[in-house]
Chains A and B, each alone.
Chain A
Amino acid sequence: AQKVTQTQTSISVVEKTTVTMDCVYETRDSSYFLFWYKQTASGEIVFLIRQDSYKKENATVGHYSLNFQKPKSSIGLIITATQIEDSAVYFCAMREDMSNYNVLYFGSGTKLTVEP
């Protein structure tokens, strides 16, 4: 069974607007970690932001923030004031606290296009 699901395959927005990308996950662990990564046009995967399941506050880094809804097993990525260079594929990932050697489970990605 898929542990991490991203249902939006692609999103297109106009620059300087706010976009939200959805992600739902499945785990039986009471403690886990959720991540968002960005894959650039060159193929490089870059870590963006992390949410620890035991923290109630939504993580924020620069113009990235998370909408963590634990009862819904949901971790949305919010990008405010989008820029052209935010165009990329965004991956949601999860690591279970009881995970073997910190293995990450990835979603299939959401392609974001930011247009002028």
Chain B
Amino acid sequence: DTTVKQNPRYKLARVGKPVNLICSQTMNHDTMYWYQKKPNQAPKLLLFYYDKILNREADTFEKFQSSRPNNSFCSLYIGSAGLEYSAMYLCASGTIYEQYFGPGTRLTVL
């Protein structure tokens, strides 16, 4: 089973409010990733967990938080959503050979 699950699939948020997105995988992968995908753009890596170690990209360091309470689950947290956060958020988990993506959460900030 190569399933990565994400909840919710759609999220509506108000400007300035927090957003919490959830991802789970059952493949026992050490690494889980979060990407932001906007139309006509490449998926942008936001952060990833290798085991319990969080790595955040330099340009998104202060905008996104994450937690990984166990190997299977990983969350993405936005403390105060802005209009520019409207995007598809994709979770992935992987091995050295492949990354498996979840179906994504479409976030709309109003």
Contact = CB atoms under 8 A, between A and B. Distances in A.
Given A101-B55, A103-B45, A108-B41, A43 B31 contact: no
Contact of B103 (A43, A50, A107, A109): A43
25 contacts: A4-B42, A35-B98, A37-B101, A42-B103, A43-B37, A43-B88, A43-B103, A43-B104, A44-B103, A45-B101, A47-B99, A50-B97, A91-B42, A100-B55, A101-B48, A101-B50, A101-B55, A102-B94, A102-B96, A108-B40, A108-B41, A108-B42, A109-B40, A109-B41, A109-B42
Interface string A5-24: 00001000000000000000
A45 B50 CA distance: 21
Interface of A: 4, 9, 33, 35, 37, 39, 42-47, 50, 91, 95, 100-104, 106-109
Q: Does more than half of chain B's interface fall in helix, strand or loop, or is it mixed?
A: strand
Interface of B: 31, 33, 37, 40-43, 45, 48, 50, 55, 88, 90, 92, 94-104, 106
